[in-house]
Each structure stands twice: as C-alpha cells, then as structure tokens.
Amino acid sequence: FADITVQMVNILAAKSDSNSLDGWDIFLEPEMENITNSDWTAFPEAIAAGYNTAYNVLKSNGVPLRDTIYSNKSDRPNLEEYEIESIEISGLYRLSESFIKKELNLNVDEHFSWDNIKTGMNRLYSLKLIRFFWIDFAKGAEGKIKLKIEIKEENLTRMGIGGYYANTMGNNIYIAYEMVGRLQQSEVITLEGYLGNYYNGISAKLRLPRLLNWPIFNQLSFTSDQRKYNPLKLSKAFHNTNSLSYDLGLLFDHNMILLGDIKYKRASFDIDSINTGENFRTFSIGLSYNFETLDDLFFPTNGTSISIQYHFNNTVNVNQRDDVIDYNIFNINIENHNNILNNKFILSQRYKTVFTLSGSIPTIPIIEKTRLDLTRTTLGLFDENLYGLHHSRLELILKYNIVSDLFSYTSFILGKTWNKRSEITFKSLDWDGLDKGAEFGLYYPTIIGPILLTYSTDKFFKDQFRLSIGHIF
C-alpha cells in the first residue's frame, strides 16, 4: 500500500511546468481525513499504515504537505448544502483541492455549479487529458452522492449515479445502475448494490456484441459477482465470481469503456470461474495476442503482448484445511511497449520489455497439513524514462507458498535501479485473520541516498519487512 500511495501522490504532485513538488497536497479519501490520527476504525489497518508510510516518506524528502485534508468539515462554510468534494479522472487518479482551484478554476468552497464543472472538464478534455470523471458531493460528513460521467468524441456515453451513507464504523449503502452504449456498438448494463460493511451485495454485467461494425468484431461477456466482504469480520468474507467472455477481432477502431480510444489487433478467448467462499475453486484458460496502440490518459502504449495461460485451483473446506490443495498454473507473457507522451502536463518516454515464464510443481507434503507450492518465477527487464526520471531494473522474482493452517506468501526481489533508487527488498506476507496489525519503519538520509527500513504486521499481511536505500523519486 505504501508503494502504491507514493506513486499515486507522485503523479498527483507533478506540476504542469516542471517536476517540482512545491505547494502540492496529498489527497486522501474523505474518510481518511487526518493521516496523523490513529483511529482507523472505518478502514483496514493495512491501508492506514500505507498512507502513513507514504506521508512520512514524502515529508522526509522535503515535500511540503498539509498535515490534514478536510480535517474539520464543520469549519467549512455552507455545509447545509451539497458541495464538490473531489473529482476523479480516468478512474485512477484524484485531483487535489489545490489542482481544482489553480488549474481548473473551480471553487470547491462554493456550492456545486454546473458552469464550473463544465468549464474545468472542457479544459481537460480539450487537452485530451480526460475520458471520464467522478464527482463526489457531500452533505455534512455522513451523506454522499457519487456521479460518474464518461466523455467520448461523439457524445456522452456513460452515466451512473449512486449514493452511500458512511460513518466511523464503516457502515455504508451503495446502489448504482449504469447503462452504457452507442448505436451499432456494444451495450453494457451494470447493476450494483452494496449494503453493510464495505461489501455485502450483488453485481452483474451484460455486454452484447457490436453486430454492424466492419471489420468483424464479436464480443460476448457475462459477469455475475455476489460478494460479502467485511474486513472487521474476516470469517464471513467471501467473493463469488462467474465470468464468460469471447472476443475475436481484426484491426478496428473501438472505444472501450475504461481505456478510451484504441486501435489494435486482438484475438483472445477467456473462461474464468471463481468461488472463494467456504469452498474455493477457480478455473481459467486464456489465449491472447495483442498489437495495440492506446490513446489513453497517462499510459499510451505501442507494442506487442502475447499471453498464454492455464490456471486451475481446487480447495475444499478452506477453514478446516483438511484436504489437499491442488494448484496448477502455467503462464507465458511477452510484452514490449514504447510510450511517448508530450503535452502540457507530462513529458515522458517509457520503454518496457517484460518476459515472464511461470510454472508450478505439484504440492509437496512437508508436515501434516503443510505443503510447499512453487507458483511463479519472473524475469523482467524494465527501462523507463518517466517524468524526467530514468528508471532501469533487471528483476528476478521468486515466489512460493507454504500452505498450512494459515496462508503464507513470500516473494524475493533483487533489483538495481540506476540514477534515482537502489533497493533490495524482501517481503514475507501471511494472513490468518487474527492480528490487529502494526508497522515499524526507519528512514535515514545518507550521502548515497535515504535509507528506509520498514517492518509491518497486520490482519491482512501479517509480516512485512522492507529495506530501501536510495531516492524515492
């Protein structure tokens, strides 16, 4: 979580005219108002630890950050009415309040104004920096309405509306209906409903094929997702997924829901069935070839991607751990992406070459109810020049599982990153659903760069140890 947060904040903090981070703020989810507050009853401890780690790392690197964001809603004016609370673009990155004020000319302290929203969104869209966005409205600290709109070249194609109630105990209600489509193109119907602590609901998606486009493109997709997930009561957690998809295409121009305009060759066939409840079973088979050019928001790509996958897992009576866990996986992934993006906000070049060969061996009994499962070995070569920072790494990842009364996942990463960061990382993660969780870290600047030493334990990832030497950015 810390790594993800640091990367997210780094992207958010990048100014339009330079790589300077002066004057930018961390943007947290509304419930994560005060990252110095130790009371995280509404969120898993792992997320809280990750955000705190990211905050400390950024502070230690001299990034000027406010200690709290939206810490006292009662001090802000006009709380009797709904007001803009945040804007999320591309479903990935959220804009900070300072960005909304400075770059989009939106005054978040005033009541919601369609004129302000349209002005800011038009500016972003004219620069081809936006495909769709979320708007959160807040009434006090407990009521929310979320509106999602997607912008395409021709017309407005996607809109969903939902609301939820949240408090410090993590109770929430979220109901959304969404219908997406264009004439002679794919129709997508999404129905979601959530009630309870985080996850307790139903989700369904139906995608019908575009029948009248040429060259030929056939697409069939059905997804049924019934989930109940309570981070405070892990014994009741389950996640059921049923998915069937078929995709056959030649060179065509297709506007995908999440990625924007794409021109690519694609041939793929995927079957996936997952049930992670009392009985865990998963089956996946896939064959795909992609030669793609993505006109996406932050990560346009050119290149080739080849993937062959077989995955089967059968676990019965997970809680009792009495039966042998069958686990087979075979995966070959080759991708080569060259990215060049040049606009007002970002100057970057990215070159990535990744080769992945994965395999498995039968589970080996070690002692009673304990087995060794070697699941994946990855060799990757990364060469990136992103936001003016050169990043090269040769990475070898060994992963293995020791399955017993608790689930353990361990990975070893040995990498060398030139110019900005050097690190050797070892992580040991296991999950037994009992520990509350804690994180301990040591960060010390030296001549060769800062040293970051981190150890964490929590209910999700019980043990985590990290040593980092080098520059974070």
pLDDT tens, position by position, 130-155:
334 444 444 444 444 444 444 333 33
What are the pLDDT digits (tens) for 95-144?
A: 444 444 444 444 444 433 445 544 554 444 443 333 344 444 444 444 44
Q: Which helix (H) or strand (E) holds 124?
A: helix 114-126
Tell me 307's DSSP state. E
184 band by pLDDT with thresholds 50, 70 and 90: very low
Distance of CA 27 to the CA centre of its chain: 16
Q: What percent of the chain has pLDDT over 90?
A: 0
State how beta strands 199-208 and 451-458 pair: unpaired
Of residues 302 and 298, which shows the higher confidence score?
302
End-to-end Cα separation, the chain, in angstroms:
17
Take residue 434 and report the two structure tokens written for it: 């009992």
pLDDT at residue 422, as a whole number: 34
The answer to whether residues 465 and 427 touch, using CB atoms and an 8 Å cutoff, is yes
Q: What Å distances lie between residue 317 and 276, 284, 322, CA to CA?
A: 11, 21, 7
Would you call 80 exposed, middle or buried from its count of C-beta atoms within 10 A (0-12, 13-18, 19+)? exposed
pLDDT at residue 324, as a whole number: 40
CB within 8 A of 240, min separation 6: which ones? 224, 225, 226, 227, 274, 275, 276, 277
Q: What Å distances lie between residue 462 and 57, 58, 230, 309, CA to CA?
A: 22, 25, 18, 30
Write down the mean pLDDT value for the chain. Answer: 43
Torsions phi, psi for 101 (to 5 deg): -70, -45
pLDDT at residue 140, as a whole number: 40
CB-CB neighbours of 84 under 10 Å: 21
pLDDT at residue 330, as a whole number: 56
Q: Is the pTM of this model over 0.85?
A: no
Angle between helices 45-60 and 2-13 (to 10 degrees): 50
Q: What Å distances lie between residue 42 and 229, 303, 357, 365, CA to CA?
A: 14, 42, 40, 40
What are the pLDDT digits (tens) for 402-418?
A: 444 333 333 333 333 33
451 band by pLDDT with thresholds 50, 70 and 90: low
Tell me 445's DSSP state. -
Average pLDDT estimate for 28-57: 38
pLDDT at residue 44, as a whole number: 34
Of residues 149 and 333, which shows the higher confidence score?
333
376 band by pLDDT with thresholds 50, 70 and 90: very low
244 band by pLDDT with thresholds 50, 70 and 90: very low
Q: For residue 455, is pLDDT > 60?
A: yes
310 band by pLDDT with thresholds 50, 70 and 90: low
pLDDT at residue 336, as a whole number: 59
What is the distance between the alpha carbons of residues 82 and 79, in angstroms, rounded to a whole number?
7
Tell me 141's DSSP state. T
CB-CB neighbours of 26 under 10 Å: 23
Closest CA to 22 of 13, 30, 31: 13
Tell me 282's DSSP state. E
Closest CA to 217 of 251, 242, 243: 251
What is the distance between the alpha carbons of residues 363 and 370, in angstroms, rounded to a whole number?
9
- Lowest-pLDDT choice from 115-119, 219-223, 431-435: 431-435
SS3 (DSSP) at 151 = strand
Could you check whether the bond before residue 215 is cis, i.e. omega within 30 degrees of 0?
yes
What are the pLDDT digits (tens) for 252-289?
A: 333 332 233 334 444 445 555 444 444 444 555 555 55
pLDDT at residue 337, as a whole number: 55
